Structure 1
Amino acid sequence: MKRPLKLYWFYIRVLGGFAWRRFTPTVKGLENIPKAGPLILAANHLAVIDDAVIPLTFPRMVHYMAKEEYFTGKGIRGAFKKFFFTSAGTFPVNRSGGGKSADALLHAKEILERGEVFGIHPEGTRSPDGKLYRGHTGAARLALQTGVSILPVGLIGTNDAQPIGQVMPKKVHVEIRYGKPIEVEKVENPTHEQVRELTNLMMKKIAELTDQEYVNEYAQVVKKRMKEEREAQLAAAAASESSPEAAPKGN
């Protein structure tokens, strides 16, 4: 752990200065962050830069999940990307569903057993429209199985700094709000009802920090529907342009 830890803080010092000047973050609730001990950090997800913004103000190293494609690239570029994410305390997760994320959650459990901080976005993907979506249950299940507290975090403005599709973030003020930890009692084999109840409480606390409109639907489902609607509109437009009725009539 010594090498990743050193590189993590090196990245914060070197890249953090640029990010701080670009986002001039306002921070609220620093007093709510436990100084030591295992912790699950649960934040809303608005932009790719979310996981870079939180460490600017969080006094402890945070381990995040990242999609496994960042770790499986080929050639020099792939090797560099894997090295960068690994040295920054990030580890891969298979997001295809069907229990394939189990290995990542096991790794997260090991992080907590070492007394460290595990960061996660319960929505599972970026919000497509700035709203807060239904939370997945992985964070709550992990908290119940370990008895580790959940720290709700609200990010505001990161979607303005980096809208979906934009690579270089804009110079926009952002805000990070840390809520009070949700104390969790350890449950050896939590029921689905217990896990969902804690997940809903976690999302409620995040919503209170961000004032986002809450949608009781998974963001992935909404994104898929939006994509299908766009494709249908494009297909309809293409069909309309190619129809005989749309062709210009001669004199």
Structure 2
Amino acid sequence: MWYWLFKYIFMGPILALLGRPRVEGLEHVPRSGPAILASNHLAVADSFYLPLVVPRRITFLAKREYFTGTGVKGWFIRWFYSTTGQVPIDRSDADAAQAALQTAERLLKQGKLLGMYPEGTRSPDGRLYKGKTGLARLALHTGVPVIPVAMIGTEKVNPPGSKMWRFGRVTVRFGRPMDFSRFEGLAGNRFIERAVTDEVIYELMRLSGQEYVDIYAASIKNGGSGGEESASDADRIPQPAVG
């Protein structure tokens, strides 16, 4: 109930006024059944505008820290994510990442629409970064379609690092569902998972018009080189919530 109240009453009208969202390709989102919405990630606002324009309910896997805060702020964040039906996951190591993968599989088996950010975190500079292969592993394990989604203009409405939101124009562009059934039985093959991930990222680049950078966004934020993906990174579910 709270999901729809936030969408249509408490937050949706304000978001619509600020971003005047324009939607393209919504017909590519199935009206029922499981699917993965794989989106680029420019701003916190992505996690609000994507559910705003999709008629179906979207479930995001939210990092565990949003459910463990203390004080009034921590309580509110925990309440908000819980009442809107988001699912906490632990991304601290490879074992936790495997548990997150199993959680995502369970949600898809229930016929849910799962929102994910293949880059793993928000872009630090508006460019599109290398994708984590957890999304590919999930798609190959479940066989569900992956629908690429380009968020455009959200960083103008909600500038990263700023607590102030501004008026702007947001475009949410959906691409055709991507079918990876040709790789059936090859889940767990790191070369195949990398190929699938790169295919999704290429489609996001085409839809969004972003410049692509062949390193991980998280490594830029952490001051690293971003060149290689560790075994635990390969297994990790890409962060699909505010990050």
Q: TM-score, normalised by structure 1?
A: 0.84
Tell me the equivalent position of 1:87: 83
| Alignment RMSD (CA, Å) | 1.5
Structure 1: gaps of 5 or more residues: 1-5, 227-251
Is 1:111 the equivalent of 2:107? yes
Shift of 1:98: 3.6
In structure 1, which of residues 87, 95, 100 is the aligned counterpart of residue 96 of structure 2? 100
Tell me the equivalent position of 1:207: 205
Shift of 1:99: 4.0
In structure 2, which of residues 158, 161, 167 is the aligned counterpart of residue 171 of structure 1? 167
In structure 2, which of residues 10, 15, 19 is the aligned counterpart of residue 23 of structure 1? 19
Contact (CA 8 Å) 2:91, 2:100: kept in 1 or not?
no
- With over 3 angstroms needed to count, the CA separation of the structure-2 counterparts of 1:187 and 1:86, relative to structure 1, is farther
CA distance in 1, matches of 2:163, 2:95: 31
1:92-241 mapped onto 2 (5 Å cutoff): 92-185=88-181, 186-187=184-185, 189-225=187-223
- With over 3 angstroms needed to count, the CA separation of the structure-2 counterparts of 1:34 and 1:216, relative to structure 1, is same
- Cα deviation, 1:137-163, whole Å, max 9, x if unaligned, reads 111100000101100000011111112
In structure 2, which of residues 37, 44, 49 is the aligned counterpart of residue 48 of structure 1? 44
Where relative contact order (Cα < 8 A, 6+ residues apart) is larger, the structure is 2
Tell me the equivalent position of 2:236: none
Q: Matched residue of 1:204: which SS?
A: helix
Contact (CA 8 Å) 2:137, 2:187: kept in 1 or not?
no
Q: TM-score, normalised by structure 2?
A: 0.86
CA distance in 2, matches of 1:104, 1:110: 10
CA distance in 2, matches of 1:158, 1:76: 28
Q: Which has the larger radius of gyration?
A: 1
Partner AA of 1:70 in structure 2: Y
Partner AA of 1:39 in structure 2: A
Shift of 1:208: 0.6
Tell me the equivalent position of 1:230: none
Structure 2: gaps of 5 or more residues: 225-243
Shift of 1:216: 0.8
Q: Matched residue of 1:225: which SS?
A: coil
| Count of residues paired in the alignment | 221
Shift of 1:164: 1.6
